[in-house]
Amino acid sequence: MKFRVKSLFMSLSLIAVIALVLAGCGKDSASSGSNASGGSGNQASSSAGNLLEQVKKNGKIKVGLMGTYAPYNFLNDKKEVDGYDADIAKAIAKKLGVEAEFITGEFSGLIEGLQQGKYDVLISQVTITDDRKKTMDFSEPYIKNSVNVVVKSDNNTIKSIDDFKGKKIGVGLGTNDEKYLRDEAMPKVGKFEIATYNDVISSLMDLNTGRIDATINNMFALKPLIDQNHLKIKAVGDSIKDDYAGVAMRKNNPELLDAINKALEEMKTDGTLKEIHQKWFGVDPSF
């Protein structure tokens, strides 16, 4: 009995020693793993934190845009992204020493895609607003757009937003113009129906055939579409607002923001911005 107790005691002691040794090894290993993981994690965080460094390392900046909004951004006959926004993006990329990679998508999904990291920046007529500044950072403006009420050529009853009550008004889905109609125009003039569209040409076609009574947009965007499609529509009254678009990016990327602002300032000084504006709109920029 004594022998069995003694043997049991020795066995338990040996197990305890082995357990302590293994625990010690495990602790050392876990500690080393934590340090290694923490180190690489910090490096990844630092690298991810400086988006400008990432862009330069990759040799390209991923630019999100619609690709269906001529003359700002559209696919040309060669199926290449073209337009004012595209030229601005290429000029900025050149100043940064990289290439512009264009990724197209519907406007309503661009901002979400930006936040998810699908794009580095958006250059797609994203209007600078206080609301958007809460979730994104913006460069200085690279264009000013004056927005007008647009109706059929034979419509003489709608002359301004004051005549929208009871009418059906078309607008781009998720755009600043949609927000303006809902938050400012409707409370001011009374209830009207809002029809949303993922592209401008669809809204103009519906206006031309009488499916909607009016739309709001800027004539820089509408004129080429009106001319190309022989649409019988017109702008009426004075501009209802002026919008300024900037390069949008995720928050907390000061290095990239500063670099893009510097590029835009150089483009203003060296005439690049004026040249691009003249190319697409035939007039000098007014901002």
pLDDT tens sequence across 11-28: 444 444 334 333 443 333
Q: Which domain holds residue 82?
A: 55-142+246-281
For residues 213 and 155, the answer to whether their CB atoms sit within 8 Å is yes
Percent of the chain past pLDDT 90, that is, above it, reads 76
Q: How many domains does the chain have?
A: 2
pLDDT at site 229:
93
What is the average pLDDT across 2-6?
Answer: 39
The DSSP call for residue 239 is E
Both 206 and 67 in a single domain?
no
pLDDT tens sequence across 208-263: 999 999 999 998 888 888 988 999 999 999 999 999 999 999 999 999 999 999 99
Is residue 135 one of the residues assigned to a domain? yes
Does pLDDT of 276 surpass 70? yes
CA distances from 165 to 192, 206, 208 (A): 5, 19, 20
CA distance 88 to 234: 29
Is residue 149 one of the residues assigned to a domain? yes
CA distances from 42 to 115, 117, 254, 256 (A): 21, 19, 19, 20
pLDDT at site 250:
98
CA distance 67 to 70: 8
Q: Which helix (H) or strand (E) is 281 found in, with range?
A: helix 272-281
Both 178 and 260 in a single domain?
no
Q: Which residues contact 6 (CB under 8 A, 6 or more apart)?
A: none
Q: What is the CATH number of the domain that holds 84?
A: 3.40.190.10
For residues 39 and 76, the answer to whether their CB atoms sit within 8 Å is no
Q: How many CB atoms lie within 10 A of CB 80?
A: 10
**287 — pLDDT class (breaks 50, 70, 90):** confident
Both 251 and 113 in a single domain?
yes
